[in-house]
Chains A and B, each alone.
Chain A
Amino acid sequence: MITITDLKKNFRTEEVETLALNKVNLTVAENEFVAIMGPSGCGKSTLLNIIGMLDNPTEGSYNFAGHEVAGLKESQRTQLRKGNLGFVFQSFNLIDELTVYENVELPLIYLKMGKTERREKVMAVLERMKIAHRQRHFPQQLSGGQQQRVAISRAVVTEPKLILADEPTGNLDSKNGVEVMNLLTELNQEGTTIIMVTHSDRDSHYAHRVVNLFDGQIVTESQNRAVGAAI
């Protein structure tokens, strides 16, 4: 599904130039669950942002489901992203002014889906995430775990091929963290590809494969034998 070849990313400010990613090569197959790990500043999030088409690489090639993404304009990236990708962030990133229901509905609105169909989809996903009873609440009225469930609901409501999770349990206590990981695993088992950046060894055990980054380069890749071993 994803083929990344010789990917480079430079950040340039007035004084310094930082090489965030250096000749990264990575392939992710459909239905895979990949964890990206590494110390702070190693380029994990940069890689995730490029995979998520929020950012463009400086050099190299990024092929997503047969489309070359590197060098696309922002509007083209947005088009490709729509419905194909879902994001789950460490800090949830819900829109404070919208209710739970409205937050989850938003990607469907951007897909120009009809109202009835939207309603069905949103309710289905909220029920599945066991958050339907909170649909009229605003994000600040929910606990962290609940907010992350809303964020996951929003990520999956378009039934994307790929979910990108950036430290999804970073802001959660362990009980809620486990719940979120179980949800991601479930989604993966149903066919969604998941790429997750994490600091947590425990969370990385939910993945099929762990990619270790250091100073912008992939240093090791390891297969997890028993998925869900941490449970």
Chain B
Amino acid sequence: MFKNYFKIAWRNLLKNKGYTAINIGGLALGMAVTLIIGLWINDELTYNSYYKQKDKIAQIFQSQTFNGQTGTGPAIPLPLEPALRDGFGDNFKELMMASWTTFSYMRHGEKNLSRSGNYMQPNAPDLLNLEILKGDKNGLEDINSIMISKSTADAFFGDTDPIGKVMKISNQYDLMVTAVYNDIPFNNAFNDTDFIIPWDHYVANQEWIKNSLDNWQNNSFQMFVQIADHTTFEKVTEAIIDIKKNSDEDVVQYNPRIFLFPMEDWHLRSSFEDGIQTGGRIRNVWLFGIIGAFVLILACINFMNLSTARSEKRAKEVGIRKSIGSQKGQLIYQFLSESFLVVLFAFAVAVGIVLLSLSGFNDLARKEIAFPWSNVTFWSIAFAFILFTALLAGSYPALYLSSFRPVDVLKGTFKAGRYAGLPRKILVVLQFTVSVAFIIGTFIVMQQIEHAKNRPIGYNREGLIQVPTFAQDFEDKTDLMRSEFKKSGAVVEMATSSSPTTRIWSNRSGFTWEGKPDGFQEDLAWTEVSSEYAKTLGLKIIEGRDFSRDYASDSLGVLINATAKKYLGMENPVGKLIKSTDEEDPDPPMKIIGVVEDMIAQSPYEPVKQGIYVYDRYNNFSYYNLRLNPKKSANENIAIIERVFKQHFPDIPFEYQFVDEEYGKKFAAEERVGSLAGIFTGLAILISCLGLFGLTSFVAEQRTKEIGVRKVLGATIFNVWNMLSKDFLKLVVISCFIAVPIAYYIMNGWLQEYPYRVILKWWIFAIAMLGAMGLTVLTVSFQAIRAARQNPVKSLRTE
């Protein structure tokens, strides 16, 4: 029986090649979009699947409240470790302190590379599930050891055995390689951990860390845990939540809460707002999931509409089959198997489209998704997906076509009723509603990105580079390097800073100043800079003056930004003092010498944070900021800078970043969402137009005789075109009026997440509507004009 169904389906497909192409092509596009989104969602949902104990691993997080605003993050103080080990040890299987992931210069022999890694406690291989390829799993026990990833080992040692070899780190420490571990796969946390150095080494060699061992207020470290088998994250959190509050009365005012942030949530649910977990990337998973589902529905609608539009052609067959004994159920089966066949072909084409576009998609989405050829689960889901799509697309036509009465169709009097086209019209309206809403949504996302990009950032980011200086070698050479660079002619000014221009690495509290309200809990972005920082960046001084080498007292000076002026409540801040509340602090108070314009260092969608720029007395800098000579090309400048750099630091790799590029990365996430949404919207519109095109051709065919008669009676081509296009245009106009309020509601909600946001203007909606109508007219016109141009004699004769 099925053979017979497939045979007739196959012949039908061959017979109507244009229809088949539209049907399979449209469905294939829709399925390809759904498939690619499905692969992407799967990739997102399986993040961290490398970790076998995923459901038992967590990071320690902390929430603190400053002036009623609660901030949440992974930074914790050092004394938390002994407090957890001693007081709550049986809740944990593993507890591991770690530094932030940092770039370090690594050297062995002539090889000199910069790699990212962490300082971790010796149980890291257990907690991180490391697969030790060579050497000793307990290799981190020795304070002067280092574990390296396979890719790092390959880069430095090639085929020779790295175990026992000595590497120089930060051009300062000699560490012996004790183990090589397999790289952690891409789609997992810690996949950028190229090396691990013992935590004790970190503590032993950094004075500030030693000083922080009993300081509950210095939140500068990370801790990862694996909880004991007998307990849950919730129970442990409940036990430890007040541990910090109970340990240091000075922090009670910030209401610190210590809790476990499960590994399951790291990737998709990492956003916190005012202390409450609010989601994160999971929003994108939903967004694209919904887009994928809608695109598939659009493609299925095409199938339904084209199948039912052609019903008059299939009616005779239905009548004959019924008269010679076919049950309605059998006909439903037949039409469903036809749609299954079409969907199967479409799936094959969709797989082809996915294979062709996967690498481009990976680039765009920053993924390493491979087509899961050998994955049985994937194929099972794919089969279910094919069946589902076949049912979705085929059920309505199957029910519709199989319900024809043989008497009507065999007598040749069958004509679809007056309302037979109504479901088709509703489906077209649905299609265009979705498409128009997509267009508006994409428009607004792009506008918001553009809006944030055009926001004044407070300094001149063009022709500015930053060079990392993560080694002791740079200490006390700042003035020398500044004059060397300037002398070279490639640099017009240079300044150091403790964080990159596009980031804030440090926030501090514990200050007091004249007029500080009682109980005010300050939180200031903290950057240590050299004298020419504002000059190098082109940061405008709006009050007071810049640092000056002419005043020795400037080493105790600070610049504040405009937001800080308001935040500190100072009308005339210049000359005012900012003191430490710590009575044991040996440093004298800092004096405000000037106010600079706000510069965006964090999110371009957020207000600028109150910040102070402190004169760097202790060589705490991490970057050289270099203003390039505008009279030379960037390449020329960089080549000269590299030469000068190498003369003074021959053992350190020269690295640099253009600040404008770094700043541009702040838009990467939104731009990715924007471009993906743009592409999917384009495809959704293409699919909808494809359907409309097919539908118009059938309508034109159906009305051939009518068009002929009208032409004989004097209708012009324009009249006929108008008659055919008007019907469809009406539907699209209805769609627009449904789509606009829906899109407005959704996008307005989306924009609320950005404090710095574009204002929705009416013309965005107008353009989207006009665009949709224009596309409709174009799509419909091709067939309409073709039908209108036909010689009426011909069409009347064939009737």
Enumerate chain A interface residues (CB-CB to B < 8 A): 45, 49, 52, 54-55, 74-75, 78-79, 81-83, 86-87, 89, 91, 93-98, 102, 106-107, 109-111, 154, 158
Residues of A within 8 A of B406 (CB): 54
Does B230 sit at the interface, judged by CB under 8 A?
A: no
- The proximity string for B residues 32-72 relative to A, scoring 1 for CB distances below 8 Å and 0 otherwise, is 00000000000000000000000000000000000000000
| A82 and B322 alpha carbons, distance in the complex (Å) | 10
Known: A75-B328, A97-B12. 16 other contacts (CB 8 A): A54-B322, A54-B405, A54-B407, A75-B327, A75-B329, A78-B325, A78-B328, A87-B323, A95-B317, A97-B11, A97-B317, A109-B1, A110-B325, A110-B330, A111-B325, A158-B325
Contact between chains at A109 and B4 (CB < 8 Å) = yes
- In Å, the complex CA distance between A110 and B316 comes to 18
B424 at the interface (CB under 8 A from A): no
The reply on B412 being an interface residue by CB < 8 A is yes
* Structural contact, B320 and A91, CB atoms closer than 8 A: no
Q: Does B15 contact A (CB under 8 A)?
A: yes
User: What's the least CB distance linking A84 to chain B, in Å?
Assistant: 9
A54 touches B326 (CB 8 A): no
**Nearest 4 pairs of A and B residues by beta carbon:** A110-B325, A82-B325, A97-B11, A107-B324
Q: Which residues of A contact B12 (CB under 8 A)?
A: 97
CB-defined contacts of A81 to chain B, threshold 8 Å: 323, 325
Q: How far is the CA of A106 from the CA of B320 in the complex (A)?
A: 10
Cβ contacts under 8 Å, B287 to chain A = none
> For A107, what are the chain B residues with a Cβ–Cβ distance below 8 Å?
324-325
Is there contact, CB below 8 Å, between A106 and B324? yes
Pick the contact of B15: A55, A79, A97, A106 (CB < 8 A).
Answer: A97
Q: At the interface, yes or no: B8 with Cβ under 8 Å from chain A?
A: yes
Once the chains are docked, how many angstroms separate the CA of A93 from the CA of B316?
7
Contact with A along B547-565 (1 / 0, CB 8 A): 0000000000000000000
- Mark each residue of chain B from 306 to 342: 1 if its CB lies under 8 Å from any CB of chain A, else 0: 0000000000110111111111111000000000000
Contacts of B319 in A (CB 8 A): 93
Return chain B residues, CB-CB under 8 Å to A86: 324
Query: In the complex the two chains form, is B11's CB within 8 Å of A93's CB?
Result: no
Chain B residues lying within 8 Å of A95, measured Cβ to Cβ, are 8, 317, 320-321
Indicate if B7 sits at the interface (CB-CB under 8 A). Answer: yes
Given A45-B411, A93-B319, A87 and B324 contact (CB-CB distance below 8 Å): yes
Query: Most B CB atoms within 10 A — which of A54, A79, A83, A111?
Result: A54
B-side interface mostly: helix
Q: Is the Cβ of A49 less than 8 Å from the Cβ of B407?
A: yes
User: What separation, in Å, do the CA atoms of A154 and B405 have in the docked complex?
Assistant: 20
> Does A93 lie within 8 Å of B320, measured CB to CB?
yes
Q: Is B410 part of the contact surface with A, judged by Cβ < 8 Å? A: yes
A49 to B408: give the CA distance in the assembly, Å.
Answer: 10
Question: Could you mark each residue 386-417 of chain B with 1 if its beta carbon is under 8 Å from any beta carbon of chain A, else 0?
Answer: 00000000000000000001110011100000
A74 touches B4 (CB 8 A): no
> Do A91 and B412 contact each other (CB < 8 Å), given the known contacts A54-B406, A106-B4?
yes
Shortest B20–chain A CB gap in Å is 13
| Residues from chain A with Cβ under 8 Å of B323 in the complex | 52, 54, 81, 87, 93
How far in angstroms is the closest Cβ of chain B from A160?
A: 10
| B: contact size bracket | 20 to 34
Residue of A nearest to B329 (CB): A75
Beta-carbon contact of A74 and B328 below 8 Å? yes
Distance (Å) between the CB of B136 and the closest chain A CB? 70
Shortest beta-carbon distance, A198 to chain B, in Å?
Answer: 16
| A/B interface sample: 9 pairs, CB < 8 A | A55-B407, A78-B326, A79-B327, A86-B324, A87-B324, A93-B320, A102-B4, A109-B4, A110-B324
A residues in contact with B330, CB < 8 Å = 110
Name which residue of chain B comes closest to A111, CB basis.
Answer: B325
Contacts of A49 in B (CB 8 A): 407
Which residues of chain B have C-beta atoms less than 8 A from A94's C-beta?
320
A12 to chain B, nearest CB (A): 14
From B8, B319, B328, B406, name the one whose CB has the most chain A CB atoms within 10 angstroms.
B406
Return A70 CB to nearest CB of chain B, in Å. 15
| A83 (CB) vs chain B CBs: closest residue | B325
Instruction: Give the distance in Å from the alpha carbon of A169 to the alpha carbon of B503 in the complex.
Output: 91
Q: How far is the CA of A114 from the CA of B411 in the complex (A)?
A: 32
Closest CB in chain B relative to A170 CB, distance in Å: 12
- Are A98 and B8 in contact (CB-based, < 8 A)? yes
Shortest Cβ distance from A192 into chain B, in angstroms?
Answer: 16
Q: A54-B406, A93-B319, A93-B320 are in contact. Are A78 and B4 (CB under 8 A)?
A: no
Tell me the complex Cα distance, A158–B323, Å.
13
Taking a contact as CB atoms closer than 8 A, the residue among B317, B326, B328, B407 that contacts A110 in the complex is B326
Residue from A45, A97, A111, A158 whose CB has the most chain B CB atoms within 10 Å: A97
Across-interface contacts of B324 in A (CB, < 8 A): 86-87, 106-107, 110, 154
Residues of A within 8 A of B405 (CB): 54-55
Complex: A49 Cα to B323 Cα, angstroms = 10
Q: Which residue of B lies closest to A82 (CB)?
A: B325
Smallest Cβ-Cβ distance to B327: which chain A residue: A78
Cα distance A86–B325 when bound, in Å? Answer: 10
**Min CB–CB distance A42 → chain B (angstroms):** 15
CB distance from B742 to the nearest CB of A (A): 37
A162–B7 Cα distance when bound, in Å, is 30
Q: Which residues of B contact A79 (CB under 8 A)?
A: 327
Closest-by-CB residue of A relative to B319 is: A93
A102 and B7 in contact, given A78-B325, A93-B316 (Cβ under 8 angstroms): yes
* CA distance in complex: A97, B325 (Å): 18
Contact status of A93 and B410, CB under 8 A, knowing A54-B323, A109-B1:
yes
The answer to whether A106 and B407 have CB atoms under 8 Å apart is no
A34 CA to B235 CA, complexed, in Å = 90
Residue in B319, B329, B330, B411 with the greatest tally of chain A CB atoms within 10 Å: B411
B412 surroundings in chain A (CB, below 8 A): 91
Bound-complex Cα distance A91 to B323 (A):
14
| Cβ–Cβ < 8 Å partners of A97 in chain B | 8, 11-12, 15, 317
Name the distance in Å between A153's Cβ and chain B's nearest Cβ: 12
In the assembly, what is the distance between CA of A98 and CA of B410, in Å? 18
A45→B407 CA distance, assembly (Å):
9
Provide the B1-40 mask, 1 if CB < 8 A to any CB of A, else 0.
Answer: 1001001100110010000000000000000000000000
Q: Which residues of A contact B329 (CB under 8 A)?
A: 75
A91 CB to nearest chain B CB (Å):
7
Cβ distance A102 to chain B, nearest Cβ, rounded Å: 7
Chain A residues within 8 Å of B322, by CB: 54, 78
B461 nearest CB across to chain A (Å): 67
Quote the shortest CB–CB distance from B774 to chain A (angstroms): 39
Cα A96 to Cα B410 in complex, Å, equals 14
Complex-state Cα separation, A81 to B320, whole angstroms? 13
Interface string of B283-317 (1 = CB under 8 A from A): 00000000000000000000000000000000011
Find out whether the CB atom of A89 lies under 8 angstroms from the CB atom of B11: no
| A98 surroundings in chain B (CB, below 8 A) | 7-8, 11
Of A78, A83, A89, A106, which one neighbours B410 at CB under 8 angstroms?
Answer: A89
Q: Considering only CB atoms, which chain B residue lies closest to A75 in the complex? A: B327
Q: How far is the CB of A168 from chain B (nearest CB, A)?
A: 14
Contacts of A93 in B (CB 8 A): 316, 319-320, 323, 410
Q: A208 CA to B594 CA in the complex, in Å?
A: 120
Choice from B11, B321, B327, B328 contacting A106 with Cβ under 8 Å: B321
In chain B between 399 and 446, which residues have their CB closer than 8 angstroms to a CB of chain A? 405-407, 410-412
B482 CB to nearest A CB, Å? 85
Alpha-carbon gap, A111 to B4, bound state (A): 14
Q: How far does the Cβ of A156 sit from chain B's closest Cβ, in whole Å?
A: 12
Q: Which single residue of chain B is at the shortest CB-CB distance from A46?
A: B407
Which residues of A are found within 8 Å of B321, using beta-carbon distances?
A: 95, 106
Which residues of chain B from 514 to 532 have a CB within 8 Å of any chain A CB? none
Q: Which residues of B contact A83 (CB under 8 A)?
A: 325
Least distance between A141 CB and chain B CB atoms (Å): 14
Distance from A34 Cβ to chain B, minimum over Cβ atoms (Å):
19
Residue of A nearest to B15 (CB): A97
A96 to B316, CA, bound (A): 10
**Bound complex: CA A96 to CA B314 (Å):** 10
